[in-house]
Amino acid sequence: MSETRCVALTVNGEHREAETPVRQHLADFLRGTLGLTGTHVGCEHGVCGACTVLVDGHAVRACLMLAVQAAGHEVTTVEGLSLADGTLHPLQQAFCDHHGLQCGFCTPGMLITLVEFLAEHPAPSEEEVRVAISGNVCRCTGYDSIVAAALAAARALRGDAA
């Protein structure tokens, strides 16, 4: 029988506590234990970026972090990006407007990666966006629409005219 721990953390602004095996990855904890299935599990080696979440505001591969390591921390998943009234985050809206997704599997990780990036780089160049998402694999879009969406979101977040 595996050892378990009670993990208390804040997820998308809400205090959550749950029992988890000590060797369970954060991605599996979020998806299976907390029911937040927006965090996708792809390669399970930290390579594809599909499982990216924010931990205390920093992008982390949830397949490489144990749930017990997140205890006491603030985790933001893709479900936590939109406002309580359902209004999309400007980046989510830009992905819709610029067709920044196709199958959608990489989208949560792309969004989370770009949320952190745009917070630190409010006026990025196209090349900077491409470098920022270089650790996230997308098999469908060719990345051009994702880059266009990121640049549009940066403008919206700065309050620039479209």
Confidence (pLDDT) at 50: 95
Q: What 8-state DSSP symbol labels residue 53? A: E
Question: Taking the domain 4-80, which CATH number applies?
Answer: 3.10.20.30
pTM of the model: 0.94
Indicate if the pLDDT at residue 48 is higher than 80: yes
* Burial of residue 45, with CB atoms counted within 10 A of its CB: 0-12 exposed, 13-18 middle, 19 or more buried: exposed
Question: Would you kindly state where each structural domain of the chain is located, as residue ranges?
Answer: 4-80, 90-158
CATH class of 90-158: mainly alpha
Q: How large is the average pLDDT for residues 8-19?
A: 97
The token pair at 151 is: 């640049």
**Amino acid at the residue 16:** R
Indicate if the pLDDT at residue 135 is higher than 60: yes
Confidence of residue 1 (pLDDT cuts 50, 70, 90): low
Helix, strand, coil % over all residues of the chain, rounded to 5: 35, 20, 45
State the Cα–Cα distance between residues 58 and 74, nearest whole angstrom.
10
Confidence (pLDDT) at 77: 98
